[in-house]
């Protein structure tokens, strides 16, 4: 698998990463540990060197899993984690007080069985703590050798600029896919101007763009998508045209729908590195295969045009989480 550099930072990662949240959090019961470790090892075998976790993904359990799985490969991989929620619980709201950041970092270092965090994100901007203070705290941690790079997640343009002036931001992680293209308006031009890499999460629309979900799908009771307006039965039915279109494009290209969605993202900019997540090895292998699907400029333009003609129905977050995004 080829490598990419996140912005001007010099941080080199595989052109496709692995989002590990779903292994313990968000999409129903946690994956069996043996199976989860095997999946992560398979990712390394496929050439993936960029792994994403967070304190908020089961209050450290996800980091513990990743630390255990990646210990044999630690010097060959890049691990990103995040701070920023009260007690590590998203529903309790943001908390980026300097003392909290330092405490989370100490926990993460222990959980991940490492001496340094390669990329440390602020999970959400905290309206009660100036972002300059957050950046300054991470800058101190970088100087102490506990962190290598600073990132932000779902931050707005002004917050990114303010933070970057204190400590250069290596990467922004936010949702971006064929069915959520809001970042194209202000975020992408700002990142290009400042030399910041972009790490799209949910690049497959939380599974919708793979074609594996339809209006009849029933999610596990603990699945986050039960609370997402875009995944209501009515909206899934209304958005089915997107999946049908993706299937048509994929068939013409002799590829899987997920591979087209990921290839489209990687074709946007050379400093974009998607991090699709999965709990199944056959999906992991399929996703990795997207790096071999090369879209021409004309094909990208045709996909853009086709998708722009189908308006997406439903918000991407429940109200309480929508309020935390883009600040």
- What ranges in the chain are assigned the alpha helix state H? 33-45, 61-70, 98-111, 131-143, 157-166, 187-194, 233-238, 240-253, 257-268, 281-288, 297-308, 319-322
The residue among 144, 162, 22, 17 whose CA lies nearest residue 79 is: 17
Six-digit token string for 40: 């992560």
| CA distance linking residue 155 with residue 326, whole number of Å | 5
Cβ atoms within 10 Å, residue 309: 9
The residue among 4, 3, 6, 1 whose CA lies nearest residue 194 is: 6
Task: Write phi, then psi, for 314 (nearest 5 degrees).
Answer: 100, 145
The residue among 80, 71, 65 whose CA lies nearest residue 22 is: 65
Q: Could you tell me if 62 and 54 are in contact, meaning their C-beta atoms sit under 8 angstroms apart? A: yes
Q: Could you tell me if 50 and 18 are in contact, meaning their C-beta atoms sit under 8 angstroms apart? A: yes
Active site residues: 57
Place of tokens 């039960």: 226
Cβ atoms within 10 Å, residue 76: 9
Torsion angle of the four alpha carbons 35, 205, 270, 290, in this order, in degrees rounded to the nearest 10: 50
Q: What angle do CA 111, 49, 183 make, to 5 degrees?
A: 95
DSSP 319: H
| CA distance linking residue 327 with residue 301, whole number of Å | 30
């Amino acid at each position: 698998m080829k490598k990419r550099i996140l912005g001007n930072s010099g941080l080199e990662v595989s052109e496709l990463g692995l989002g590990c949240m779903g292994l313990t959090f968000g999409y129903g019961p946690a994956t069996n540990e043996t199976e989860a470790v095997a999946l992560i090892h398979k990712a390394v075998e496929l050439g993936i060197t960029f792994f994403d976790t967070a304190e908020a993904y089961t209050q450290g359990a996800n980091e513990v899993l990743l630390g255990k799985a990646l210990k044999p490969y630690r010097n060959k991989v890049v691990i990103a984690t995040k701070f920023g929620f009260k007690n590590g619980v998203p529903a309790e709201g943001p908390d980026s007080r300097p003392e909290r950041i330092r405490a989370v970092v100490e926990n993460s270092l222990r959980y991940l069985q490492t001496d340094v965090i390669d990329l440390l994100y602020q999970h959400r901007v905290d309206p009660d703590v100036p972002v300059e203070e957050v950046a300054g705290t991470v800058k101190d941690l970088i100087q102490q050798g506990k962190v290598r790079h600073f990132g932000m997640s779902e931050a707005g343009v002004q917050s990114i600029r303010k933070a970057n002036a204190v400590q250069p931001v290596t990467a922004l992680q936010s949702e971006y896919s064929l069915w959520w293209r809001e970042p194209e308006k202000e975020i992408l031009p700002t990142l290009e101007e400042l030399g910041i890499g972009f790490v799209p999460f949910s690049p497959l629309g939380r599974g919708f763009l793979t074609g594996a979900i339809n209006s009849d799908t029933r999610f596990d009771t603990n699945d986050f998508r039960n609370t997402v307006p875009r995944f209501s039965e009515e909206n899934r039915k209304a958005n089915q045209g997107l999946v049908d279109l993706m299937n048509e494009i994929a068939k013409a290209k002799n590829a899987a729908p997920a591979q087209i969605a990921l290839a489209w993202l990687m074709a946007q900019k050379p400093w974009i590195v998607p991090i699709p997540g999965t709990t199944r090895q056959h999906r992991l292998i399929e996703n990795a295969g997207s790096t071999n699907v090369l879209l021409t400029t004309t094909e990208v333009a045709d996909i853009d045009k086709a998708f722009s003609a189908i308006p997406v129905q439903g918000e991407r977050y429940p109200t309480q989480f929508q309020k935390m995004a883009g600040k």
